Structure 1
Amino acid sequence: MILLVLFTLVIAYAVNFLYKKWKVYRLLLDNFKTPPRHPIFGTLTIFPKTAPEIFKTLLSLIDKYGKNVVLTRPILDAQIIISDAKDVEAILTNPNTKKARKASVYQTLEPWLGTGLLTSYGEKWFTRRKILTPSFHFSILDGFVDVMSKQSDILMKHLKSMAGKGEVDIYPIVNAFALDIICETAMGVTVNAQADPNSEYVTSVKKMSLAFQERLRHPLGKSGLYNLTSKGQYQKTLTTILHNFTNKVIGERRDQLLSNTKVDKGSHMNFLDILLHASVGGKPLTNADIREEVDTFLFEGHDTTASGIAFTLYLLSRHTDVQEKVYQELKKVFGGKDEMEITKKKLIDLEYLEMVIKESLRILPPVPGIGRQLMEDTLIGGIKVPPGVNLLLSIYAMQHDPDYYPNPEKFDPERFSSQSDNKRTFAYIPFSAGGRNCIGQKFALLDLKTVIAKVIMNFKLLPGPEVILQGDLILKSSNGIRIRLEQR
């Protein structure tokens, strides 16, 4: 009898759950355009198997069906792909940022990142954001510029050994450079990724990035069942290695502070030091709390920065007129390449280079899309969409939309001149926007300016093959980002 009652309750719960999903499913299908659907697999059957073809297909669906498109998956699952700037603005500028939550796909990052600033929401996100904002104050960034300049000099020596020797895949090279900077500014440690790319920590970071890409494309990727697969176990092993490293650094630094080793609260504090000085409700953050944020900063600032640098150099290699204008501006600000003293003030003076970087981030944004999960009723395209629905805000599609950018495929830095009357608003969001925008965008721009300035002062960039894009969490090229270098 008891088993019958329990069985009846389970069935009733399942029926109620599916009925609620069906109502939302029908609401989306009745009010938004959607491609033809398979009765079981939904729109999944439209997409090819390779990452570049998946990305290309997604963009073609937006072209064909409009700025807001519904895609479906098995068991009444539907999400909206949004590239209408008005709707993106409404979503990102919701004044109640505590009710902004990342889409469910981001939960796949939690085994490594926990619920740090990227994946948390509600009161925890609000408190952490408040703690972390001072980390990017201009006085702190001044100290970070010294690190960026030092690591750029190491990169220049590496590139000089490759100049005049044919095509170079620039991405893994600048990826190691970006990892060196992030580790030194985040944790105050040098991992020597440029000099020793085969160390356990460096290789584990690279492998983890690839492991996440594989998980996103796996049928069980969003499910806990993925952890039972061999690839899930492999990802768990990498997570342990990365956590052990971060835990060791945090523990050693905390011990230094407890033994009264002074840390100046000035420009040379790193991200970890700031977290170790922080408190919530009068209590210091635990080592686990700090690890979440340090690992999040590493993840968000490492691959994205490398993508931004590599794609900007790629575009400059294919537009020699723009490259020459950048070079002339650099000579005006710095003099000769042997006189390059990198300071934040001089980087700010590089106005044309900043326009170039912004245009590069428009054409090839490091983050091609942002996932959100609605926490309250939200108007999208005039339709009230209920909580629980997952959204993908397609940054790439918006920034290539001719409604927002005439001749969008043209690389034209003048779009971002102070005299331009082009009103970009929320059609340009390479760092997201609103209350949950990228907290490290000033850091990233200084990093990009520093390394690109040094590269252009030392080398002429010549084009290699055209990139084949794939849109994972980070925009990548499946055939590398290949250019040729000639010393100036």
Structure 2
Amino acid sequence: MIALAVPIIFVLYLLKVLYSKWKVYNYILSNFSSPPRHPIFGILHLFPSDSPGIFRTFQELVKNYGRNFVVSRPIFDALIAISDPADIETILSNPNTKTAKKARLYDTLKPWLGTGLLTSWGEKWYSRRKIITPGFHFSILEGFVEVMTKQSDVLVEHLRSEIGKDEVDIYPLVNAFALDVICETSMGVKVNAQADPRSEYVVSVKKISRAIQAKIHHPLGKMPVLYSMTKNGRYLQHLTNILHDFTNKVIMERREQLLHNSSPDKGSRMNFLDILLHATADGKPLTNDDIREEVDTFMFEGHDTTASGIGFTLYLLSRHPDIQDKVYEELKDIFGNGHEAEITSKKLNELVYLEMVIKESLRMLPPVPSIGRQLMEDTMIGGVTVPAGINLSLQIYGVHHDPRNFPDPENFDPERFNTSGTQNKRTFAYIPFSAGGRNCIGQKFAMLDLKACIAKVIMNFRLLPGPEIILQGDLILKSSNGIRVGLEERE
């Protein structure tokens, strides 16, 4: 009897779980628009297998099915894609930031990032945010400009060696620049990604994003134990081990140095790792694992995103010579005619037009095309009470390309962000760095990095248009065919 009762109880429990999921699934589908769906596979049949095709199809759904619609998936699973600024404001401006939880998709990052600032929630997130915020004080960021400038000069020399070619894919070069900057500012170490792009750590950093993306699309990707047994799973673990070993080694070496000198040398530049090593939570120092989570998170959030932001801005400037000329004229006004002009944070902050250009680039081609949230309480969305537990996908790319928010959205027009006008007064219709209590903590760092790099490139080169980019929306918005431009050295 017991042997018979156990499977019966299991089946009844499974049926109860499925029924509960079906009720919520049916409720969501009854209250929001949805593309045609398969009874078992949801709308997965609408998507092609290639990354650019997936991104293109999803943006078509955003346009065709309203600002909020249901993405239905197998086994009564559904998320709501949100691109209504009012509903985005409701979700992101929730005053109780401790209950703001990332969507389940972010669990894919935890083997590498642990539960650092990006993936944590509740008290842990609140405590970490409080600890980390001083690391982005203007006095700290000011010291980082020297690193950004030095690495920009290295990038310029690499670009100069490419002159004479019809087109150059600038993305790998910009990506290596971003990695050099983030490693030196976050850990105080030089990985020389621009000089030695084949080092084990540099290669692993570049490969792990693709390995994580492969996990997201794998049938076993949501089952960590089973996925770890696959070839892809073992490869992802191999890359993770390399990155963890590197970060752990840096932390241990720096901790040992600080044992002999309890505070940074006077006048020395404090990096992100030093701030974490001196921090305490509830009166206790952070453990090595705590610190590694945050350093790796900073690496992930500040590397590919910055590279995409720089690459896409240079791409847009190459296709709009009139705007590129205005940027160059502003650079001459601020820095003079010399290619070796000294770049400081004060001068970078004076680059008003370049900042408008960058903001418009981040509107048209936001490095993070969407962000995910999981509701921790019943929430009113589009006039409908959505129950706790539902996952949401906030469509940054979609809201930025909605003509109701930005007239003629496919037109590259930096004047949208002219602070002397009124058209720039948008709130949650422009969110390249997210918004609310869980906005991007490193956005000021990113803007300085973008300005320093772009300024150096434009002061030294005239950019010429290459092929049109083909977008793919992985974890980070990228171009599947690279970012190819022509280069002419300025006199």
Aligned to 2:30: 30
- 1:129-144 aligned at under 5 Å gives the runs 129-144=129-144
Aligned to 2:434: 432
- AA paired with 1:432? S
- AA paired with 1:271? F
- 1:34-183 aligned at under 5 Å gives the runs 34-183=34-183
Q: CA deviation at 1:7?
A: 2.7
Aligned to 2:477: 475
Q: CA deviation at 1:13?
A: 2.1
1:317 counterpart = 2:323: no
C-alpha contact 1:140 1:266 (8 A) present in aligned 2: no
Aligned to 2:416: 415
Q: Distance in 1 between matches of 2:461 and 2:268?
A: 31
Q: CA deviation at 1:228?
A: 1.7
| Greater Cα shift, 322-331 or 261-270 | 261-270
Q: CA deviation at 1:426?
A: 0.4
- AA paired with 1:2? I
- AA paired with 2:389? G
Q: CA deviation at 1:263?
A: 1.0
Q: Distance in 1 between matches of 2:204 and 2:154?
A: 22
- AA paired with 1:90? T
Aligned to 2:234: 233
C-alpha contact 1:139 1:267 (8 A) present in aligned 2: no
Aligned to 1:340: 341
Q: Distance in 2 between matches of 1:338 and 1:54?
A: 42
Seen in structure 2, the aligned counterparts of structure 1 residues 392 and 265 have a Cα distance that, compared at 3 Å, is: farther
Q: Distance in 1 between matches of 2:277 and 2:322?
A: 48
| Runs of at least 5 residues in structure 2 that lack an aligned partner in the other structure | none
Q: Distance in 1 between matches of 2:343 and 2:281?
A: 37
- SS in structure 2 at match of 1:203: helix
Q: CA deviation at 1:421?
A: 1.6
Aligned to 2:381: 380
Q: Distance in 1 between matches of 2:227 and 2:442?
A: 32
Seen in structure 2, the aligned counterparts of structure 1 residues 171 and 339 have a Cα distance that, compared at 3 Å, is: closer
Aligned to 1:406: 407
- AA paired with 1:324? D
Deviations along 1:451-483, one digit per CA (max 9) or x if unpaired, are: 000000000000000000001110011111100
Q: CA deviation at 1:437?
A: 0.2
TM-score normalised according to structure 1 size: 0.98
- 1:278-293 aligned at under 5 Å gives the runs 278-293=279-294
Q: Distance in 1 between matches of 2:81 and 2:266?
A: 44
C-alpha contact 1:101 1:373 (8 A) present in aligned 2: yes
Seen in structure 2, the aligned counterparts of structure 1 residues 381 and 264 have a Cα distance that, compared at 3 Å, is: farther
Q: Distance in 1 between matches of 2:449 and 2:150?
A: 11
Aligned to 1:358: 359
- SS in structure 2 at match of 1:483: strand
Q: CA deviation at 1:265?
A: 7.5
Q: Distance in 1 between matches of 2:244 and 2:62?
A: 39
Q: Distance in 2 between matches of 1:338 and 1:355?
A: 23
| Runs of at least 5 residues in structure 1 that lack an aligned partner in the other structure | none
Deviations along 1:178-232, one digit per CA (max 9) or x if unpaired, are: 0000000000000000000000000011111211222222222222222221011
TM-score normalised according to structure 2 size: 0.98
Deviations along 1:44-102, one digit per CA (max 9) or x if unpaired, are: 00111111111111111111111111011111000111101100010000011111111
- SS in structure 2 at match of 1:392: strand
- AA paired with 2:345? K
Q: CA deviation at 1:396?
A: 0.2
Seen in structure 2, the aligned counterparts of structure 1 residues 6 and 480 have a Cα distance that, compared at 3 Å, is: same
Q: What is the Cα-based RMSD across aligned positions, in Å?
A: 1.1
- SS in structure 2 at match of 1:462: strand
Seen in structure 2, the aligned counterparts of structure 1 residues 265 and 445 have a Cα distance that, compared at 3 Å, is: farther
Q: Distance in 1 between matches of 2:301 and 2:185?
A: 13
Q: CA deviation at 1:39?
A: 1.3
C-alpha contact 1:164 1:487 (8 A) present in aligned 2: no
Q: Distance in 2 between matches of 1:304 and 1:424?
A: 23
- SS in structure 1 at match of 2:406: coil
Q: Distance in 2 between matches of 1:217 and 1:267?
A: 45
Deviations along 1:373-396, one digit per CA (max 9) or x if unpaired, are: 111101110111111111100000
Q: CA deviation at 1:2?
A: 3.1
Aligned to 1:270: 271
Q: Distance in 1 between matches of 2:479 and 2:84?
A: 26
Aligned to 2:9: 9
Aligned to 1:300: 301
Q: Distance in 2 between matches of 1:22 and 1:13?
A: 14
C-alpha contact 2:339 2:460 (8 A) present in aligned 1: no
Q: Distance in 2 between matches of 1:243 and 1:397?
A: 35
| Greater Cα shift, 223-232 or 451-460 | 223-232
- AA paired with 1:161? S
Q: Distance in 2 between matches of 1:176 and 1:349?
A: 27
- SS in structure 1 at match of 2:373: strand
Q: Distance in 2 between matches of 1:455 and 1:44?
A: 42
Equivalent pairs counted in the alignment come to 488
Q: Distance in 1 between matches of 2:80 and 2:464?
A: 40
- 1:244-259 aligned at under 5 Å gives the runs 244-259=245-260
Q: Distance in 2 between matches of 1:47 and 1:219?
A: 15
Q: Distance in 1 between matches of 2:2 and 2:248?
A: 49
Aligned to 1:223: 223
Q: CA deviation at 1:243?
A: 0.4
Aligned to 2:192: 192
Same amino acid, percent of matched pairs: 69
Q: CA deviation at 1:150?
A: 0.6
Deviations along 1:160-191, one digit per CA (max 9) or x if unpaired, are: 10123220111110000000000000000000
Q: Distance in 2 between matches of 1:216 and 1:170?
A: 28
